[in-house]
Structure 1
Amino acid sequence: MHIHADATLIAALATDLRDARFTSESIRAAWGVAADNAFARGTRVPALRALKNRTDATAVLARFFVLGVAQPSSDLAAALPTLGLDGLHTLGLVAGADLSTPTVLIRPQSFVDEAGAGEWWVASDLDETALGGALPDDHVVGVGGASLTLAALQVPTPARSVFDLGTGCGIQALRARRHAERVVATDISENALAFARFNALLNGVTDIDVRAGSLFEPVAGETFDRIVSNPPFVITPRRDDVPAYEYRDGGMQGDDLVAAVFAGVGEHLAPGGIAQFLGNWEYRWGTDGLDRVRAWVENSPVPLDAWVIEREQLDPAEYAALWIRDGGTVQGTAAHEQLLDAWLDDFSHRNVTAIGFGYVLLRRPLDGEPTLRRFERVTTPIPAEGTIGAHLADMLAAHDATVALSDDELAALHLITAPDVTEKRHYLPGAEDPTVIELNQGSGFGRALSVDPDLAALVGACDGELSVQQINDAIAELMELDATSLRADLLPRVRELIMTGFLRLAV
């Protein structure tokens, strides 16, 4: 059964959800912190126990739409007086008669972005817990960890037009519409497009342009200020006995789908436009995964700035087990062993030794000449406060402000140490001098850098009063070093500290 995007009935559903206080906060209060934490781990029993015997609208709708548990039709009718059971059936959200069984999940999703705080209702297919088994191939997921990561990564700078490639349930399109005049959302899955339309209407958004098609075909000849994508990047064996889930599998071999996004995104970016997406890339025998990504950037038909951040690596067995489990196949079963064997055969065929996962930011330069090519591994935990997107925007601005500066111009800058930077010094017992000096970043990517006393002294003196050159000369005099040699050593590292947000330009 597929859902139907009837605007009038969806508006009635929204009215009922609003009247029932169907919000993250209300539901969390209804079943308690412990049950909420258990639910986040995939266990719904504590939540069901907390709501036992309650027939108020919040409890009924939480059991039905959030936990995916059948409810008495009379209770459901009372909880949805505006929509009614007939409307619920017409929208395709329910099956059964006396005991109504949900066919979809609808979960509230709170958020905070540069425009403020808010909440969406997001409909998706029943998950493996509600289904009690493996997922169907055309399954549409709701808001998961990858969706939240991509949302947090999006730079908050203005954009008139946004293209959401592989929209899924439509969460990224909803986010983009909060600050963009025009949003186009595409997917190869008709089921996903139905959910994207439904979710837009459920949240009062009527003008997202939803189109069917693969990769860039639906937007041929168009350009955008921003492209965002959580593409179906999961590397899946191309075999009939291995499920090919539309939401995560792009139908290509290995990491070819991600390579295709790199190849096609440039011509659809307006000058100055930014594309941000998640991806996997393979490490093949003798070839570093980030080197393969670097080649994708260099081979782009349209020259692009690139900032690629690898967050983690998994060996082939770990990677396969992760995604087999994601599909709802239980570890230790014969089906699990069969799928794992198929995955490992596929990786062995291409000599894959590891799989990297990370974040990609590509930008079409205003003048056509790239100035940023950064490929790095950042595995430190990202601080929870704020969004990483604002940090990325600040770092791009810092790069643009300093990339063309000569060493003399850089040395003339007045810098300040970012307020979230702290310093740690480690000493051996009884020693006067530290063995390790570490700079730690409290926001952004939460980087931790080991530095020598010279650089630590420079960072500590950056309060906007003195230029880099003046600080350099003072350190050289104090430590009895050659000022010219010290400057040659410090300036490249100062550039890096500006780029990564440890140092900022004094206003």
Structure 2
Amino acid sequence: MKVAPLFPAAVLDQLGQALRDRFGSVAVTEVLGLPGEAALSRGDLSGADRLTRQGSETETLIRLFLLGLPVSRAAAGAALRPLPLAEAEAAGLVEESAGQLRAALDVRPYSETDGPDWWVVSDLGAEVRPGPLHPEHVLGIGSAGLTLAEATVRGPVRRALDVGTGCGVQALHLSEHSEAVTATDLSERALRMAATTAALNARSWDLRQGSLLEPVAQERFDLIVSNPPFIVGPGFGPTSGGFRYRDSGLPGDSVCAELVRGLPGRLTEGGTGQLLANWIIDGSQSWQERVSSWLPATGCQAWVWQREVAEPGEYVALWLRDAGEQPGAPGWQQRYDHWLDWFAANGVAGIGMGLVSVRRTGDQDSQVVCQDVPQAHEHPIGDAIEDWFGRGAWLRGRSVAQLLDARLVAAPGLVRSTHSVISAEGWQPALVQLRQSGGLRWELEVDDAVAALVTACTGEPTLGVVLSVLAAAVSASVDEVTAALIPVVRDLIERGFLVPVDLAPVDLVPVDLAPNAIDGGQR
């Protein structure tokens, strides 16, 4: 179906010119500075208000669209030119407020690091318009969406899909490295918001209305991303106290299960799907078993991160506040009790929150790795996820003999830390750790043998040679050392502490093993 933007073409053209002229990321940063931007990011609108009172046109647009404050008609007219105020009001961009004008929608500049300016259109949040949100509220740029954008694998692809596009943030990112972008949403209002975002940024997307993957049945994509309505609960929907952008209307974590199950079938061979998800933690099984059960036994490689766990009361309060509700307000206690009663009746002890990344691998047995990843990591992290898929594919099916013939190199930036405890004999080493200074920033406790193994992996000797030297150093048989350390080596490769030479960046590979040296420069 053809989805029309919220505004006529003439309004879009004139609004776009006003935004480009005086409401880009650099212009806003020059007005707010780091203190003002920090205040805005934490929802301290008063902190940003103090910095926008000099009356410049950029300040007027900040007050209008980012702070939700009323401005004079004269100031609005100057800031929005060449868009006439009458046309802005008729289109529903601004509205009358006690003789002044205020924004009816959130319009804000946004960009990738060192990328071009974009503008995103959404509904105004609860921090700007206090009180409960409308059930059909279209969410703007939020922390969850930013998390997904930073985690997305960004290689060039032919076809990309954004499931549950909302205002179109993920589709904007996809359009930078995809030949064609399709975006779906159940909400017609959200699709019109996305169409408006696309038009303001001179983008063309195939927008389709429908639930999850239904609008793209029988189609396949090289990359699929989704920030779905993942909230775990009794099955709230827009007509039963829920909100379209976050509540699916399905009970428990079934919406995430449905989407994860459907991803492999909608991916091309080698294609990647990534989504944010929440899942139930109960006494019947581990969270790893629960999420693994959503994926097929063959045909995919998956990496699931559990970033944090919330207990039921904490989780409910978080999402009630997210929707603009406040303790003591009408309906808070009723909804709070209903939600927690459902959790209690269904044995929910906690809710896991995280990221699911899936790659279609053909007919091979599936590899599903579920890990707690609570640590702070490098941003963006999409390249590290792509590297994990590459190392996993390298490891899959590789025998012990093949591993022993492999050449490995220690990842750059590894840090070894030794912690000691005091005793009668003085300081005694008690704990040795290896830590990554970039990427996922994994931290592992190791013994001297593993630390020595990592040190010896310079890309020149084979792993078999390294283990033979270690065996001699500890007066053990090579078979014993091999049996003990091969599982450790696999884990070190999977986590990126050790990298196979054929996957390593050129600057990590010894000169005599670099590709140009091996094949005479023919690649």
Give the TM-score normalised by structure 2.
0.91
Shift of 1:24: 2.8
Q: Which residue does the alignment assign to 2:30?
A: 29
2:175 to 174, 177, 192: 177
Q: Which residue does the alignment assign to 1:56?
A: 56
Equivalent pairs, count:
495
Deviates more, 1:211-220 or 1:30-39: 30-39
2:334 to 322, 327, 338: 338
1:451 to 424, 440, 446: 446
2:419 to 426, 446, 458: 426
Q: After TM superposition, which residue ranges in structure 1, 4 or more long, deviate above 4 angstroms?
A: 239-242, 430-433
Q: Which residue does the alignment assign to 1:156?
A: 154
1:83-232 aligned within 5 A: 83-96=83-96, 98-112=99-113, 117-205=115-203, 207-232=204-229
Task: Give me the CA root mean square deviation.
Answer: 1.9
Give the match's secondary structure for 2:189.
helix
1:279-294 aligned within 5 A: 279-294=277-292
Shift of 1:89: 2.2
1:283-362 aligned within 5 A: 283-298=281-296, 303-333=299-329, 335-362=331-358
Give the match's secondary structure for 2:107.
strand
Deviates more, 1:460-469 or 1:60-69: 460-469
Q: Deviations over 1:21-57 (max 9, x none)?
A: x1233223313333322222211112112212x2221
Give the match's secondary structure for 1:274.
strand
| Closer/same/farther in 2, CA of residues 378 and 244 from structure 1, 3 Å limit | same
Shift of 1:232: 0.5
Distance in 2 of aligned mates of 1:492 and 1:91:
63
**Percent identity over paired residues:** 36
Give the match's secondary structure for 2:13.
helix
| Closer/same/farther in 2, CA of residues 158 and 31 from structure 1, 3 Å limit | closer
One-letter amino acid of the structure 1 residue matched with residue 358 of structure 2: L
Deviates more, 1:399-408 or 1:446-455: 399-408
Give the match's secondary structure for 2:81.
coil
Distance in 2 of aligned mates of 1:255 and 1:100:
42
| Closer/same/farther in 2, CA of residues 423 and 72 from structure 1, 3 Å limit | same
Q: Deviations over 1:278-297 (max 9, x none)?
A: 10010123322221111111
Q: Which residue does the alignment assign to 2:69?
A: 69
CA contact (8 A) 2:416 2:432 kept: yes
2:244 to 246, 250, 261: 246
Q: Which residue does the alignment assign to 2:6?
A: 4
Distance in 2 of aligned mates of 1:258 and 1:371:
19
CA contact (8 A) 1:142 1:169 kept: yes
Query: Does residue 473 of structure 2 align to residue 478 of structure 1?
Result: yes
Query: Does residue 385 of structure 2 align to residue 392 of structure 1?
Result: yes
Give the match's secondary structure for 1:410.
helix
Distance in 2 of aligned mates of 1:81 and 1:9:
11
One-letter amino acid of the structure 2 residue matched with residue 102 of structure 1: A
CA contact (8 A) 1:35 1:46 kept: yes
Give the TM-score normalised by structure 1.
0.93
One-letter amino acid of the structure 2 residue matched with residue 38 of structure 1: A
Q: Which residue does the alignment assign to 2:46?
A: 45
Q: Deviations over 1:290-321 (max 9, x none)?
A: 2111111147xx74222111111111111101
Q: Which residue does the alignment assign to 1:18?
A: 20
One-letter amino acid of the structure 2 residue matched with residue 389 of structure 1: G
One-letter amino acid of the structure 1 residue matched with residue 359 of structure 2: R
Shift of 1:371: 4.5
Distance in 1 of aligned mates of 2:439 and 2:136:
36
One-letter amino acid of the structure 2 residue matched with residue 60 of structure 1: T
Give the match's secondary structure for 1:33.
helix
Distance in 1 of aligned mates of 2:207 and 2:233:
27
Distance in 2 of aligned mates of 1:351 and 1:4:
44
Distance in 2 of aligned mates of 1:402 and 1:8:
56
CA contact (8 A) 1:5 1:198 kept: yes
Q: Which residue does the alignment assign to 2:519?
A: none
